[in-house]
Amino acid sequence: MSLAADIKILREKTGAGLMDCKKALIECKDDMEQAIVFLRKKGLADMAKRSDRETKEGRVSVKTNGKNFAMIYLGCETDFVAKTDAFIKLADDLAQYVLEHPGLDYSKDENIKNMILEQAPKFGENTTFKGGYNWAPADGNVMAYYVHSDNKKASLLEMSVTGACSDLAKVQEIARGLAMHTVGMQTGWVDAKDIPQEVIDRELDIYKTQAINEGKPAATIEKMLPGKVKKFAKENCLLEQPTIKDNKKTVAAYLDEESKALGCELKVVRFVRF
């Protein structure tokens, strides 16, 4: 077989550039397997150099088997790489792995690391696993997901259903709509009570500093703080946010209306989003 033919095969196997493949074959005396090892080592070395570069782009992938729902985010440096077939396949493969292996700490999983290390040299960019979730709804609950059209934002949402519901398909539609809402409104928490104290403390510190800089008296500042916290909750908590279709109606009021119409009680249990 000619060197040109070997280069073509090596490029298909590794995704490496033409000159890199030629060099690898020459260095390894036309031994294809050794040339692959040579390129992988070179690729991994290149990745080490890239590891401190920001991964502001990427892709979300969601997989379900009807019982469990897996969602992952794979990061890269450019939108160009995020749209390549190889990157899309890796994101989907990672989501499938997470789906098939519930209950793991995905941030430390060696198989996930190895799956990325094997494919990342093809991309020529820092490639990182931003996070993964594997959720299964409790008995009687409904799980829904939404992936935005740019494939960079997504959400999983679980809703409980108490009582005999007249239309489960409608419940599923409501759950998906709320999953979409959390992405569109960049929702942080379900309810105000879910906001961590450190977040509240941070916001209060910001409010105080701003008010002091504006020259407001200390007594006035203290009176303002409860209202500022309520405003923060209204802007960031799902139940207190206005619905996308009617900004005069909160999600809590919307769920109450739908619950009455369906003859059951609907509650958002949890959600997570990228």
pLDDT digits (tens, 9 = 90+) for 14-35: 667 678 888 888 988 888 888 8
- Do residues 104 and 89 share a domain? yes
Q: For residue 30, what is the domain's CATH number?
A: 1.10.8.10
For residue 41, the model assigns a pLDDT of 67
pLDDT at 263 over 80: yes
For residue 184, the model assigns a pLDDT of 94
pLDDT at 49 over 60: no
The structure tokens listed for 264 are 């059951």
- Do residues 62 and 164 share a domain? no
Would you call 53 helix, strand, or coil by DSSP? coil
Ranking 181-185, 246-250, 258-262 by mean pLDDT, the lowest is 246-250
- Do residues 153 and 247 share a domain? yes
For residue 21, the model assigns a pLDDT of 83
pLDDT digits (tens, 9 = 90+) for 128-157: 999 999 999 999 999 999 999 999 999 999
- Do residues 9 and 120 share a domain? no
- Do residues 31 and 85 share a domain? no
pLDDT at 39 over 80: no
- Do residues 159 and 113 share a domain? no
Q: For residue 225, what is the domain's CATH number?
A: 1.10.286
- Span 241-260, mean pLDDT? 94
pLDDT digits (tens, 9 = 90+) for 175-234: 999 999 999 999 999 999 999 999 999 888 888 888 888 888 888 988 888 899 999 999
The structure tokens listed for 96 are 């499938």
Cα radius of gyration (the chain): 25
- Of 136, 165, 185, which residue is a domain's last? 136
Task: Tell me how far apart the alpha carbons of residues 142 and 156 are, in angstroms, rounded to a whole number.
Answer: 11
CA 222, chain centre distance (Å): 38
Count the domains in the chain.
4
- Do residues 37 and 88 share a domain? no
For residue 145, the model assigns a pLDDT of 97
Count CB neighbours of 128 within 10 A.
18
Closest CA to 73 of 155, 137, 143, 15: 155
Q: What is the mean pLDDT of the chain?
A: 90
- Span 235-248, mean pLDDT? 92
pLDDT at 265 over 60: yes
- Do residues 146 and 210 share a domain? no
Domain that holds residue 251: 137-195+237-274
pLDDT digits (tens, 9 = 90+) for 60-82: 999 999 999 999 999 998 999 99
Ranking 35-39, 87-91, 171-175, 255-259 by mean pLDDT, the lowest is 35-39
- Do residues 162 and 262 share a domain? yes
- Do residues 61 and 103 share a domain? yes
Q: For residue 68, what is the domain's CATH number?
A: 3.30.479.20
pLDDT class of 45 with cuts at 50, 70, 90: very low
- Do residues 162 and 57 share a domain? no
- Do residues 57 and 35 share a domain? no
Pairing status of strand 154-162 against strand 128-135: unpaired
